[in-house]
């Protein structure tokens, strides 16, 4: 049986390979395309707001746009120093 | 109110101009007053495919710059009463299609025609963006081949972001997939993406399948839109696409290999 497979290998049709490759690359490209245009600006604005109240470094905020099933999820992580002191407002 | 249709693809050489010529001719054959515009500034070719290259006097850029009136630049087709060709210019200045000028010309055309077909240049630069900006409908011309499908996906994303309808937050541009240079025999052998594959990947409803056909080259050789060739399978497929665009139900021909008679198979004729 193995010698039969060796002599007549069953190859995946090239069209199937094409479809799989396209689905992979397009899933990646679409994710990168969907709206991260505003993320850097949002990050900047959020940082300014946080700084009104506490001292925070430039990289204190991380903004990510993810997806779960049908909804988009905006994930914002703010990292503050342990003894974050409130500014006198 | 006129309907504006952009024929676009991202990738070059997939059949945008052939499709623009065929769709415009098909709509005019059915009695709709139609104009087909060449947006490929610097690389004018629609005039050749439509067979009116020797009648070009003024062009799109002349009208935009106010050097000619619209009616002086429009070329009336000699075969069909309701068909007009609006040629582009051969200037090397790719940015000659200025936004305000194009807007003004489109408004004038909307007042005069039922259908306005915009033949887009390849790529995603200024010319392609200008061609799709005014669209109500988009015909995405795609070959069953990886680079064409990927580029179509890209242009679909651009339609959703950069069209006037997107800018004004109106109902989105209605997309139609037109699969060209399709070879049912190769699909059956697993050598070519099938219509179902492409539909699934791009998730755009199918307007038509245009089979690979020698008659397409013959048509462009002679400057006759392929839809006017009664013996051409591609022409029949375009006729179906026009009918579907106008809301008719038509069975999808050319998706499956043709059952050839014994004699034809023996003679090897397509």
How far is CA B221 from each of CA A4, A18, B175, B203, rounded to the nearest angstrom? 51, 33, 30, 34
Question: Which candidate, B128, B167, B154, B132, places its Cα nearest to that of A33?
Answer: B154
B91 has a chain A CB within 8 A of its CB: no
| pLDDT band with cut points at 50, 70 and 90 for residue A67 | low
pLDDT at B78 over 90: yes
**How many residues are present in chain A?**
89
B146 has a chain A CB within 8 A of its CB: yes
In chain A, which residues have their Cβ closer than 8 Å to the Cβ of B154? 29
In chain A, which residues have their Cβ closer than 8 Å to the Cβ of B194? 15
CB contact under 8 A, A14 and B190: yes
Give the residue with greater pLDDT, B270 vs B77: B77
Q: Which of A70-74, B44-48, B236-240 has the lowest mean pLDDT?
A: A70-74
Contact A77, A50 (CB under 8 A): no
* B83-106: pLDDT as tens digits: 999 999 988 776 788 899 999 999
pLDDT at A36 over 70: no
Calpha distance B227→B247 (Å, rounded) = 19
In chain A, which residues have their Cβ closer than 8 Å to the Cβ of B157? 30, 33
Determine the pLDDT at residue A12: 87
Please tell me the distance in Å from A38's CA to the nearest CA on chain B. Answer: 14
Please compute the mean of the pLDDT values over residues B11-19 and round it to a whole number.
96
Please tell me the distance in Å from B264's CA to the nearest CA on chain A. Answer: 28
| pLDDT band with cut points at 50, 70 and 90 for residue B266 | low
Determine the pLDDT at residue B141: 98
Give the residue with greater pLDDT, B204 vs A73: B204
Please compute the mean of the pLDDT values over residues B194-218 and round it to a whole number.
96
Determine the pLDDT at residue B80: 97
Determine the pLDDT at residue A56: 80
Q: Which residue in B150, B154, B192 is closest to A15 by CB distance? A: B192
| pLDDT band with cut points at 50, 70 and 90 for residue A50 | confident
Q: Which residue in A13, A26, A33 is closest to B201 by CB distance? A: A26
Please compute the mean of the pLDDT values over residues B20-49 and round it to a whole number.
96
| pLDDT band with cut points at 50, 70 and 90 for residue A11 | confident
> Looking at this predicted complex, what is its ipTM?
0.83
Q: Which residue in B145, B150, B190 is closest to A13 by CB distance? A: B190
pLDDT at B268 over 60: no
Chain A residues contacting B via beta carbons under 8 Å:
13-16, 18-19, 21-23, 25-26, 29-30, 33
% of chain B residues with pLDDT over 70: 96
Calpha distance B163→B227 (Å, rounded) = 29
Question: Which candidate, B45, B48, B38, places its Cα nearest to that of B73?
Answer: B38
pLDDT at B255 over 90: no
Contact B7, B119 (CB under 8 A): yes
Please tell me the distance in Å from A1's CA to the nearest CA on chain B. Answer: 25
For residue B198, give the H/E element and its range. helix B195-202
């Amino acid at each position: 049986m193995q010698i039969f497979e060796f002599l007549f290998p069953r190859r995946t049709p090239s069209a199937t390979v094409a479809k799989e490759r396209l689905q992979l690359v397009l899933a990646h490209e679409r994710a990168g395309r969907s709206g991260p245009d505003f993320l850097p600006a949002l990050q900047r604005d959020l940082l300014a707001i946080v700084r009104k109240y506490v001292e925070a470094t430039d990289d204190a905020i991380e903004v990510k746009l993810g997806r779960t099933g049908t909804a988009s999820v905006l994930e914002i992580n703010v990292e503050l120093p342990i003894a974050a002191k409130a500014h006198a407002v | 109110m006129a309907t504006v249709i952009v024929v676009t693809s991202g990738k070059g050489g997939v059949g945008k101009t052939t499709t623009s010529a065929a769709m415009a001719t098909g709509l005019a054959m059915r009695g709709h007053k139609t104009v087909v515009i060449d947006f490929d500034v610097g690389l004018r070719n629609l005039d050749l495919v439509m067979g009116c290259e020797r009648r070009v006097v003024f062009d799109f850029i002349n009208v935009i710059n106010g050097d000619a009136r619209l009616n002086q630049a429009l070329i009336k087709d000699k075969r069909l009463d309701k068909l007009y060709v609006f040629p582009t210019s051969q200037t090397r200045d790719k940015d000659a299609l200025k936004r305000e000028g194009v807007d003004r010309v489109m408004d004038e055309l909307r007042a005069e025609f039922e259908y306005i077909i915009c033949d887009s240049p390849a790529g995603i630069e200024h010319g392609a963006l200008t061609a799709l900006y005014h669209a109500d409908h988009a015909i995405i011309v795609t070959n069953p081949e990886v680079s064409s499908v990927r580029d179509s996906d890209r242009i679909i994303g651009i339609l959703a972001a950069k069209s006037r309808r997107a800018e004004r937050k109106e109902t989105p541009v209605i997309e139609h997939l037109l699969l060209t240079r399709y070879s049912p025999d190769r699909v059956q052998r697993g050598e070519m993406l099938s219509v179902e594959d492409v539909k699934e990947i791009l998730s755009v409803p199918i307007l038509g399948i245009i089979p690979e056909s020698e008659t397409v080259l013959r048509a462009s050789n002679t400057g006759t839109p392929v839809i006017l060739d009664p013996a051409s399978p591609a022409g029949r497929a375009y006729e179906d696409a026009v009918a579907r665009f106008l809301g008719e139900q038509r069975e999808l021909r050319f998706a499956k290999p043709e059952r050839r008679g014994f004699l034809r198979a023996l003679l090897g004729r397509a």
